[in-house]
Each structure stands twice: as structure tokens, then as C-alpha cells.
């Protein structure tokens, strides 16, 4: 059995599409539990009505958030306590899953004997604001860390994960209470992968390859707010490391042109073009959009870095209507 666990807070616009896509899976032995995390909209009622048509689905109300916990981490912790499956699959409420997801993911867990499998979802982008920011997630990820090293290297520093899809071996999860161990962490997904590897379990991170789609943000402001929350954490809160990386990807071509001349600059530009094409195709994105928007995306990468550093020093974030003190 697979327990599909969905924390949901104010997700009335998205939740039914996810539940309907789960119900169409060709994997029969699963349960789906939605935890309504004190929503102020119709999330609970929509899930309750849907569960009445399919016994594999249920919705529960979340407990009051303790002071030392962050909202999503506590919601996932509660969901795990209600789950009965051999595997615990955590999904975000704004996703849509394709047929074959559970079969493929469970097979990967069994073959590789994993404690944790995390998938980076295919991102849906409809506005120009989204296209300026959202592709930076895969650009940074696949530029900085070959994903194969997450599984092959025992070093916890080689850790990557996406909270949009986290599949745990239930026994390993209950033995360690992973979400409890990161109760106050904003970027809990990467921190859990570090813990999994640090305790000599096997973890893996892969691209979803069309099995999960998600529209993370609806406009530029939401994208800036969301990604700036996580950017510095991806560099292990090393501000110098983030600034050094920015200097390479943004100022690097200018320095090459000034000191090495036009020929080497053209060679560097060709490498940038090839990498953008490869990363775009791997992550299911339009390479032509990313090539055209690359200069502007680099400007917004700099803006994200400034916002992320600012949030780091103020120690305060706002997300899903809650103020988070980090």
C-alpha cells in the first residue's frame, strides 16, 4: 500500500484537480489523506465531498500549530501518523499527477532500496512573469549538482530534494520521524535529504519526466516571494558562495570578453546556449523561451539573491498567510 499524503492550506482552486488525477492512477493499492491546515476557504468541504464518492480518499483537520513548528512540516508530521502504507508519498496540493507515477516511483524505491525518493516536477508557466523566474529552479539545480551524485555519493553535502514530491519508506520514516527532526526548517526537503544520507540511508533525487506537473506561482510577485524564500538555503546559507556563483554566471561573459577577446566570448556564449537547451529539454520547458529570456532571467536571479539575503538578515518570512520567524 502507498499512502498519498497532502497538506493543504487555502487550496480550493487546486485541490480537486489533484484528487481527480490521483483517482485515475493505474495503481490500485493506495489511500489518500488530505490534511486541511486551518484553511480559510472551501478546501475542507471540497475534499469532504470528493471523499464521499471514493473510499480511497479522506480529509482530516489539522491540529493547532505548535510554536516551534513550521506549518507544512507539522502538517506532514500529522499526516504520517494517520498513514497505513508501506510507502508514504507526500504531494503538494497544487499539482497534477499523470498515470504511472505510483508504479514508476514504487519500482524505483524497490530496485534501488531507497529510504527517500524525491522528484522535481515539471513546471507549468502561463505568464511572462513566471517565465522570468520559475525556470531558474532547474537552471540552478542542474548547473550546480549532477543529480546522480545524490544517490551515488555518501556525502550529505550532495543533497537535493523537492518538497513537491517526497516518497519515503514508511518504516524508515517512522523510525526517524524526519519531519520532526526539521520542524523549524524553512527548506525542509533538502534538510531531510541531508539527514537521510548522513544516517547512511539511501536517497535519490530525479526529474519527474512528465509524471507530475505543477503551476507553483500565478504571477511575478508570487514567484519572487516564493523563490527568494529558498534561494540562499540552496547554497547552505553561504552568502559568499551565492555571490561568487552570481559573479560567474552574470559577469563571467563580460570578463571573458574584456580579457580574452571576442572568439573566447563566442565560445562561452555557445556553451550557455547549449546548457540552456539541454536543461530546458530535460525539465520539459520551452528552450526558445529560455534562450530569449536568458539575459532578463539573470537580472531576476540577481534580484532573487538580494531578496533572499534580505530575508535571511531580517529572519522573518510570510507564507500562506503565516509569519515565519527563522
Give the DSSP H or E segment for 30: strand 30-36
Q: Write the CB contacts of 119 (distance below 8 Å, at least 6 apart in sequence).
A: 105, 162, 164, 165, 167, 205, 206, 207, 208, 211, 212
Positions of the chain with pLDDT lower than 70, given as ranges: 315-326
Q: Where are the domains of the chain?
A: 2-217, 221-325
The predicted structure's pLDDT at residue 318: 61
- CATH class of the structural domain 2-217: alpha beta
- The model carries a pTM of 0.90
Give the DSSP H or E segment for 254: helix 252-260
Alpha carbon of residue 243 to chain centroid: 23
**Residue 300 CB-half CA count within 13 A:** 24
Query: Per the structure block, which three cell numbers stand in for 155?
Result: 556525502
CA distances from 3 to 20, 256, 295 (A): 16, 52, 43
Q: Write the CB contacts of 40 (distance below 8 Å, at least 6 apart in sequence).
A: 10, 321
Question: Which tens digits make up the pLDDT trace of 84-119?
Answer: 999 999 999 999 999 999 999 999 999 999 999 999
Residue 300 DSSP SS3:
helix
The predicted structure's pLDDT at residue 209: 92
Question: Which tens digits make up the pLDDT trace of 222-274?
Answer: 899 888 887 887 787 889 988 998 888 888 877 777 777 788 888 888 988 99
Amino acid at each position: 500500500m502507498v499512502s498519498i499524503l497532502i497538506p493543504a492550506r487555502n487550496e480550493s482552486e487546486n485541490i480537486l484537480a489533484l484528487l481527480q488525477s490521483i483517482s485515475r492512477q493505474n495503481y490500485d493499492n493506495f489511500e489518500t489523506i488530505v490534511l486541511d491546515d486551518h484553511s480559510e476557504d472551501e478546501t475542507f468541504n471540497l475534499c469532504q465531498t470528493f471523499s464521499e464518492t471514493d473510499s480511497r480518499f479522506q480529509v482530516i483537520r489539522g491540529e493547532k500549530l505548535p510554536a516551534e513548528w513550521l506549518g507544512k512540516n507539522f502538517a506532514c508530521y500529522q499526516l504520517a501518523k494517520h498513514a497505513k502504507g508501506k510507502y508514504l508519498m507526500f504531494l503538494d496540493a497544487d499539482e497534477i499527477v499523470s498515470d504511472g507515477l505510483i508504479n514508476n516511483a514504487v519500482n524505483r524505491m524497490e530496485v534501488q532500496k531507497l529510504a527517500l525518493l524525491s522528484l522535481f516536477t515539471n513546471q507549468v508557466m502561463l505568464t511572462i512573469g513566471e517565465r522570468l523566474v520559475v525556470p531558474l529552479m532547474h537552471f540552478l539545480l542542474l548547473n550546480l549538482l549532477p543529480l546522480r551524485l545524490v544517490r551515488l555519493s555518501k556525502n550529505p553535502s550532495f543533497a537535493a530534494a523537492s518538497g513537491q514530491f517526497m516518497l519515503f519508506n514508511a518504516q524508515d520514516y517512522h523510525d526517524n520521524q524526519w519531519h520532526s527532526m526539521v520542524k523549524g526548517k524553512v527548506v525542509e526537503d533538502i534538510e531531510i535529504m541531508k539527514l537521510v544520507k548522513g544516517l547512511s540511508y539511501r536517497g535519490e533525487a530525479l526529474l519527474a519526466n512528465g509524471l507530475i506537473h505543477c503551476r507553483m506561482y500565478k504571477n511575478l510577485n508570487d514567484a519572487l516571494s516564493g523563490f527568494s524564500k529558498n534561494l540562499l538555503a540552496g547554497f547552505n546559507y553561504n552568502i559568499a558562495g551565492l555571490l561568487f556563483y552570481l559573479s560567474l554566471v552574470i559577469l563571467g561573459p563580460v570578463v571573458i570578453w574584456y580579457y580574452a577577446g571576442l572568439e573566447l566570448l563566442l565560445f562561452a556564449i555557445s556553451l550557455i546556449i547549449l546548457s540552456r537547451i539541454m536543461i530546458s529539454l530535460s525539465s520539459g520547458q520551452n528552450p526558445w523561451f529560455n534562450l530569449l529570456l536568458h539575459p532578463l532571467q539573470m537580472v531576476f536571479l540577481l534580484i532573487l539573491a538580494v531578496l533572499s539575503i534580505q530575508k535571511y538578515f531580517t529572519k522573518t518570512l510570510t507564507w500562506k498567510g503565516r509569519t515565519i520567524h527563522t
